[in-house]
Structures are given as structure tokens and as C-alpha cells.
Amino acid sequence: MGINHFILALISFTCLLSFSASTNAPPPLFDASSPTSLELYDMIEAMSESPSPFAFDGIELETTMPFLDEKTPIEPLSILKAGIEAMDNQTKYALAEVTKLSMDPTTPKNVVPILQTCIDVYNSILNSDQKSLEAISNCNLVQLSTELGANVENILGCDNAFKQAKLKSPMKKMDAMLEKIISNTLTIGVDMVHF
């Protein structure tokens, strides 16, 4: 993966996040040529070459980059915490959107229970995120792996509920972004974090 691909992906991701200005997402605090970004790039390279049992695309790690600043050490635990923060932020945004849809009087009545399933899914992810942070504080790798793994299954719940009803999920794009963050945090948490 060349540095140009990395910078292009970084710029694309920054543009993607710009639509969520109404959330509490911090603006990008770094420059692609900064030492922090270069250290992160080196870490991405090492991780993408590791023999992980999980499919890992290092470019997707940039979902955590807006949550890093120059003071954040570039090591797996810091990247994992930033990933959990990114996941929390994206989940809160999805939760706000699905709640708004469920309360909209124009939403068909048969869709409201499915949206409630999505609300439950997003609340489960937020709960697992908090438990993951507790596991990090307690240096409990088993609990950390369990909570991060639970989110892999959690995120499928909303889309599956719409599929069962033979409807297209309005949350598909947000869920796809969450899937990437969840996959990356699981990979980092299981493969790279050691207490």
C-alpha cells in the first residue's frame, strides 16, 4: 500500500465525516505528513502484514484517526481506545437517526418495531463499548475480547431485522461504517493488545 493511497483514503474519510458536523465528532487533529500519521501508517503496514485470523484492511483503520491527536501514543492500546471512541460516536449518531425515524409520523407502522430492534442493537453496542473500556482499565483480555466480539454479532441485528421483513434498511450505510470500526477494534483487541 503506497503513501499516496493512504493519503487519498484519509482525505476521502475526512470528507465522509464532514457530513456529521451535528455530532460531537472532533475535527481531524492531524496532518497526513505529521509524525503521528507516519507512525500510524507504519503501524497499519505492520498490522496488515500480520497473520491475523480476521480479514484486516489497514486503510479502514482511519475510522479511528479523527480521535487521535499528536499526544496520543501510537501503540495498539491507544489505537483500540480511539477505535472504541469512534465506534461509540458512530453508534450514537446511528441511534439518533433511527430514533428520529421511529418517531416520524410518516414512518409506516410495520417498520416501527424493526426500528426499535435497531435502537436495541445500538444500545447493546454502546453497552459493550463501556464494558470494553472497563476491561481495558481492569487489564481483562478475556472480557475485552468477549465484548468486542459481541459487537460483531450486535451490528448484524438491525440489517437482519429489515431483511426478515423483506425491506431495505435505511441504516445500511451507517451500519457498514460501524462494521468496519467494529472489525478493526476486534482485530486490534484480539491480535495486538497484551496486558
What is the pTM assigned to this prediction? Answer: 0.68
Q: Identify the burial level of 116 via C-beta atoms within 10 angstroms of its C-beta, where 0-12 means exposed, 13-18 middle and 19 or more buried.
A: middle
Residues of the chain with pLDDT under 70: 1-73
Q: What is the pLDDT of residue 39?
A: 54
CB 192 within 8 A of CB 76: yes
Q: What is the pLDDT of residue 78?
A: 87
The amino acid at residue 50 is S
Residue numbers of the domain that contains 42: 3-191
The number of folded domains in the chain is 1
DSSP string, 73-115: --SHHHHHHHHHHHHHHHHHHHHHHHHHHHH-TTS-TTTHHHH
Taking each helix axis from N to C end, the angle separating 141-154 and 172-191, rounded to the nearest 10 degrees, works out to 160
5: which 3 cell numbers? 493511497
CATH number assigned to the domain comprising residue 49: 1.20.140.40
- HEC profile for 115-148? HHHHHHHHHHHHHHHHHHHHHHHCCCHHHHHHHH
CB 144 within 8 A of CB 189: yes
Q: What is the pLDDT of residue 64?
A: 52
Q: What is the pLDDT of residue 191?
A: 87
